[in-house]
Amino acid sequence: MDISSKTPKIIVFDLDRTLWPFQVDKDTTNPFRRTEKNTVEDASGVASRIEDIMGAYQLLELFNLNSFFTYKEIYPTSKILHFKELHRKTGFPYETMVFFDDDERNIKAVQQLGVQTFQVSKDGIDKKFVLQSLNLDSSH
């Protein structure tokens, strides 16, 4: 799919090392909390294929990200199964879906379905990268 000629119907983001720059079930300890300085910390004071599903939902809430997502597929399994479930729920063809992830294995797997993919750095994603990827950034 040529993103510049067609607006995607659904944009999908991986969580670990994409929306946030750490891996919930390996780099942090649940529970999480928002500090007085408006940062998010785990139980040990560290701000920094999810198995800690509740931790992921908690972080979405603490980072004020819940309102940006209509569909949430958070469980440890193949990304192909996530996309099949999104396709079933939305009826959108795979070719109208866009996926951002840091893991090359997930990128390659989802591409087989016809999804447009973008690999992000291990430090996570930012607004500029998303806009440039979707050809919506007028500065390039």
Residue-by-residue pLDDT tens, the chain, 140 positions? 445 456 899 999 998 888 888 888 788 888 888 888 888 888 877 654 567 888 889 999 999 999 999 999 988 888 999 999 999 999 999 999 999 999 999 999 999 999 999 999 877 888 899 999 988 655 54
Tokens 């090359």 sit at which residue? 104
Contacts of 96 (CB under 8 A, 6+ apart): 1, 6, 8, 9, 10
d(CA 27, CA 23): 5
16 included as an active-site residue: yes
Q: Which of 85, 83, 90 is nearest to 114 (CA)?
A: 83
Which of these is catalytic: 2, 14, 102, 123?
14
Known active-site residue 123: no
pTM of the model: 0.83
The one catalytic residue in 2, 16, 52, 103 is 16
pLDDT per position as a tens digit, 92-124: 999 999 999 999 999 999 999 999 999 998 778
pLDDT (0 to 100) of residue 79 = 92
Residues 38 and 36: their CA atoms lie apart, in Å, by 5
